[in-house]
Copies of this chain bind each other. A is one copy, B any other.
Amino acid sequence: MHPTSVVSLDAELGDGVRIGPFCVVHPGVVVGDGCIVDSHCVLGAPTSSFYEAPAAYEPPACRVEAGSLIRSHTVVYAGAEIGEQFECGHHVTIRERTRIGTGVRVGTRSDVQGDVTVGDFCRLHSNVFVAKHSTIEDFVWLLPNVTLANDPHPPSDTCTRGPTIRRYAVVSANAMVFPGVEIGEGALVGAMALVRHDIPARSVAVGAPAQIVGSTADVRCRDGRLGRVYPWWTHFRRGYPDGVLPPADAGLD
């Protein structure tokens, strides 16, 4: 633990945890064995109820499980629960009541707004925005600047529902998914698509507003080197432990 950091005596740090310079670790934070927290991070950042009534505030638990790597200037709120082998970029924010599974990676400056469920082995790239109440299943990829929105008629409370992204789906850079919309298992959403309606499993949707233009089975590498690129785990397994991805010929759902 770097001597410059401010770490609450009511935080629990596991074996071999390293906390870099200029971090703030609030009461109620639990950091698992072998985690690395880089400089300028805040763990257990207080939720709004703290600012409304500091005296009555009891911080909900903030857990970062074993083997995780939190890069610099990242803020994890009280009430967030993050699984093992998590890894994130810089300047990330993860808010209260968010549950993140095992082996997830979140890119620089992504913003997970709270009350969000993220499955195992998901990849959120840089600057992804995940609105409250979104659901992201296992092995989902959200590319840079993807937006998951939750309010169809802002400002509103009554209409609010987050999107659901089913397992193995890929949402390309700058795409936006509307409130309450479901992206089906293994589907592919194109760059800058504006997705207002549900997308069936294993289909490809592009454009604004998004239209279904085919099946992922027909997607081929643009420069001809690879041929078929779906299912994507037939040619891409980097960063996944052995045995967690399905066989190439797996029928999903």
For the complex formed by this chain, how many copies does it contain in all?
3
Quick check: B93 and A91 within 8 Å, CB to CB?
A: yes
Q: Enumerate chain B residues within 8 angstroms of A89, measured Cβ to Cβ.
A: 93
Of the residues B2, B153, B174, B191, contact of A222 by C-beta under 8 Å: B153
Whether B123 contacts A126 by the Cβ 8 Å rule is no
Q: Are A232 and B127 in contact (CB under 8 A)?
A: no
Counting chain B CB atoms within 10 Å of each CB, which of A42, A131, A172, A226 scores highest?
A42
- Report yes or no: B153 in contact with A229, Cβ–Cβ below 8 A: yes
Tell whether, in the assembled complex, residue B42 and residue A42 are in contact, meaning their CB atoms are under 8 Å apart. Answer: no
In the complex, the answer to whether A147 meets B170 with C-beta atoms within 8 Å is: no
Whether, in the assembled complex, A75 has its beta carbon less than 8 Å from a beta carbon of chain B, the answer is: yes
Which residues of the other chain, B, contact A144 by a CB distance below 8 angstroms? Answer: 129, 131, 147, 149
Given A22-B40, A129-B144, A149-B144, A235 and B91 contact (CB-CB distance below 8 Å)? no
**Does B170 contact A154, Cβ atoms closer than 8 Å?**
yes
A75-B51 in contact given A127-B129, A129-B145, A156-B236 (Cβ < 8 Å): no
Structural contact, A221 and B158, CB atoms closer than 8 A: yes
Q: Kindly list chain B residues whose C-beta atoms are within 8 Å of the C-beta of A49.
A: none
**Residue in A89, A111, A131, A229 whose Cβ sees the most chain B Cβ within 10 Å:** A111
Interchain CB contact under 8 A, A145 and B147: yes
A179 to chain B: which residues have CB within 8 Å? 222
**Chain B residues with CB under 8 A of A158:** 221, 225-226, 235
Chain A interfacial residues counted at CB < 8 A: 72
The verdict on A219 contacting chain B, using a C-beta distance below 8 Å, is yes
A242 close to chain B: CB less than 8 A: no
**Which residue from chain B places its CB closest to the CB of A158 in the assembled complex?**
B226
Question: Is there an interface contact between A194 and B194, defined as CB atoms closer than 8 Å?
Answer: no
Which A residues between 118 and 162 are near B, CB-CB below 8 angstroms?
A: 123, 126-127, 129, 131, 141, 143-145, 147, 149, 151-159, 161
| Contacting residue for A173 out of B39, B75, B147, CB 8 A | B147
Q: Which residues of B contact A126 (CB under 8 A)?
A: 111, 113, 129
Complex Cα gap A93–B125 (Å): 14
Q: Is A203 an interface residue (CB 8 A)?
A: no
Q: CB-CB < 8 A to A71: which residues of B?
A: 45
Not counting A154-B232, A155-B232, A159-B229, a sample of 12 additional A-B residue pairs whose C-beta atoms are within 8 angstroms of each other reads: A20-B24, A22-B40, A38-B42, A42-B72, A73-B73, A90-B93, A131-B144, A149-B191, A159-B221, A159-B223, A161-B223, A192-B192
